[in-house]
Amino acid sequence: MMTTPPSNTAPPQQRPAARDRAWLWAVLAFVALSLCGMAAFVLAVSGGQLPELGQGPSWTPPAPGAEGPAQAEIQAEAVLAVGDRAVNASAGEVRLRKTPGFQNKPADDVITTVPAGAQGEVIDGPQAADGLQWWLVRFGGREGWMAERSSQGILLLDRAG
């Protein structure tokens, strides 16, 4: 009688499951390494800081569901008037726009950014949009709309002293 030596290999029905798990781990490792690579790239490009923590334009959109002040409240809080000399009173750049408001705007609505401390002239306004008060201002020969305050109430545009 002839006997066959015992086999150390697993039965054929168990091999596909092991291969499927190995494939799943390979995909998960690839995804994890890709995410780490993208995070490293963003940190490298931003100089080691996340972009939202850097010195960008000073206004930020309101939180979802937050209500902006009513038009009457905006008019009562006006700091500026047409003809006033104005200054970018924020700690950073503020966007100068073609039209009042900042929500749902195309990228080409931004004309330029106005550096902190820059002085200009108020030529029209105010106009309410997106819960903020906007003034048409001229800075260095460029005209555009700038919010008087950010959505958090931070003063962006003030009367020059």
Indicate yes or no: pTM above 0.75.
no
Retrieve residue 29's tokens: 């490792």
Per-residue model confidence (pLDDT) at position 134 = 95
Cα–Cα dist 104/119, whole Å: 28
Per-residue model confidence (pLDDT) at position 74 = 47
Q: Across the strands, what pairs with 138?
A: 121, 143
Report mean pLDDT in 10-residue bins for the chain, 161 residues: 60 59 84 88 66 49 50 56 92 93 92 94 93 94 93 90 77
Per-residue model confidence (pLDDT) at position 100 = 95
DSSP states of 38-100: HHHHHHHHTTTS-GGGSS--S--PPPTTPPPPPHHHHHHT----TT-EEEE-SSS-EEEESSS
Cα–Cα dist 142/120, whole Å: 9
Q: Across the strands, what pairs with 54?
A: none
Per-residue model confidence (pLDDT) at position 49 = 55
Q: What is the CATH number of domain 71-159?
A: 2.30.30.40
